Structure 1
Amino acid sequence: MTISLAEIFDESYYLAQNPDVVEAINQGGFSSAFQHYQLVGASEERAPSYLFDPQYYAQQNPDVVEAVERGEYPSLVQHFIEVGAIESRSSTFLFSDSFYQTRYPDVVTAVEQNQFSSTFDHFLKFGEEEGRWPIALFNPRVYLERNADIAAAVEQGQYKSAFAHFAQLGIQENREFSQFVNLDYYRRTYASQLTQFYRTSSLEEVSLAQTFNHLQEIGLSQGLNPSPFVDVEYIRNNYSSQLTSFYQTSQVTDISFTQAFDYFTGVGLQQGLNPSPLIELTSYRSKYATELTSFYGVQSINEVSFTQTYNYLTSIGLEQGLKGASR
């Protein structure tokens, strides 16, 4: 199973982003949006969908740009579907191959067994609609739970998935998209880093999309925290044995802050690892067992997962003034 150009193409997205194509089709110049993309759009490096960003791909892969210029590939997207995805190159900052492998070992196995050509191939064909996480910063289930109008739109077929809406509109609309990320907090806490990076004197000139991109591409790698509940430096330092075992290295310093965050959101939280020195999940479960079992409609606290405990703590529990740590 390999990726085809048609699979990575989204007609509604393409037409919305390219009004000149709409006009060309109306005038009879092209029979469809996909025909325009095949004949013209791909070589012009237009984005075929929210799943492939030519500008991002070019920035991340200067060797591919050179290969296209030499005529080895007709376009960046052609390189990606033929080679890039298999080489685990990211097509957009909204999909992380390394995180997807960390969170979904079943996909890794399926790729090894040649059921899919790459992890991205799995996400494209099944993962997106199954509600799997494309990156550590985006939780499809939380996105739908906290945005009822989007859940209804997806149910009605207006959007293919929660991720489809998020990639196109969610960031700009400042929608809640993860229990691990708070963009308002990130902007307030790291205003100087953001304004310096984007070369502006005012934080108001830094968009929410730029804020998210900075967090994803730069902030996490520097150990900046995505929310007041997650301390990536604490996670890396406090769970060095788990991290070195998982990433198969002898030194925790070989593990980036981004990898530590990916591990926590993909594996660690499910095992009961704490996200910061201010939160002790095991103690919280014991202390507020009555509230947790009542909220989740179960009889025993053992039926409430650490993930559910964290979600409750950072939302309902916070509103009720329940403290997260016993230290």
Structure 2
Amino acid sequence: MKLLKTLFSVGVIPVIAISFLSKLYGVPSATAQTQQIAQSESIIFDPYVFDAKYYMSLYQDLREEFGRNNLSAATTHWKKYGLQESRQGHPAFNAKYYLEKYPDLAANFGTVNRAAYIRGINHWLTYGIRECRQGSANFDPSYYLANNPDVARVYGKSNCKGAIDHWIKYGIKEGRRGTP
């Protein structure tokens, strides 16, 4: 028992526990996360993370600076500044919102810098969509499926990726609510 207390007091047990829980719940270690970041800058342009038309339509300052239809400038702005400024690049996902909504992710990834946001994006794409986590204040896939039985019938009642696809392609235009 004394050995156990000593190991706990010097931080050995918490490190082992965190490592075990990270593996159990699919959260990569800090080293693996850093490697993923280095290899995955391109994930910021995933179609479930960034839509240049949406991005441009959302921000008046960008339209004034670049013009309404300059999607190339919108994409460049997103890469250089948008993510760090906590701007939203897609109607169903906002990295800052996602990390703030889920304390388990914020505790593991942080919440206020590009690396944390990229880790959050990686989690969203790898696990979050499949787990039906809410990626933005605009859209909750569980709510959408529960309140649109026709969508649940077509895509499946737990197919959150299908719910996002439907909402983006049809639901917004049809005036369907993405959240309560």
Shared fold, TM over 0.5: yes
Quick one: distance in 1 between partners of 2:93 and 2:60?
Answer: 18
Kept in 2, the 8 Å contact 1:243–1:263? The answer is: no
Stretches of structure 2 that go unaligned for 5 or more consecutive residues are 1-34
Whose helix fraction is larger, Structure 1's or Structure 2's? Answer: 2
Question: What is aligned with 2:116?
Answer: 256
Question: What is aligned with 1:277?
Answer: 137
Larger RCO (CA under 8 A, 6+ residues apart): 2
Question: What is aligned with 2:39?
Answer: 97
Question: What is aligned with 2:76?
Answer: 213
Partner SS, residue 221 of structure 1:
coil
1:167-208, Cα deviation, whole Å (9 max, x unpaired): xxxxxxxxxxx244332332243343x48xxxxx74239942
Kept in 1, the 8 Å contact 2:111–2:117? The answer is: no
Quick one: distance in 2 between partners of 1:320 and 1:214?
Answer: 30
Quick one: distance in 2 between partners of 1:317 and 1:261?
Answer: 23
Distance 1:190 1:283, change over 3 A: closer
* Distance apart, 1:275 and its partner CA: 1.5
* Distance apart, 1:224 and its partner CA: 0.8
TM-score normalized by the length of structure 2: 0.63
Q: Does 2:104 match 1:241? A: yes
1:227-281, Cα deviation, whole Å (9 max, x unpaired): 3333332112111313434x4xxx5457633432332233212211101223222
Question: What is aligned with 1:146?
Answer: none
Which residue, out of 154, 176, 179, partners 1:322? Answer: 176
1:186 alignment partner AA: Y
Identity, % of aligned positions: 14
Q: Does 2:166 match 1:301? A: no
Distance 1:206 1:264, change over 3 A: same
How many residue pairs match? The answer is 145
Kept in 2, the 8 Å contact 1:179–1:311? The answer is: no
Supply the RMSD in Å over aligned alpha carbons.
3.2
Which residue, out of 54, 67, 77, partners 1:204? Answer: 67
Question: What is aligned with 2:29?
Answer: none
TM-score normalized by the length of structure 1: 0.38
Stretches of structure 1 that go unaligned for 5 or more consecutive residues are 1-87, 91-95, 100-133, 139-177, 196-200
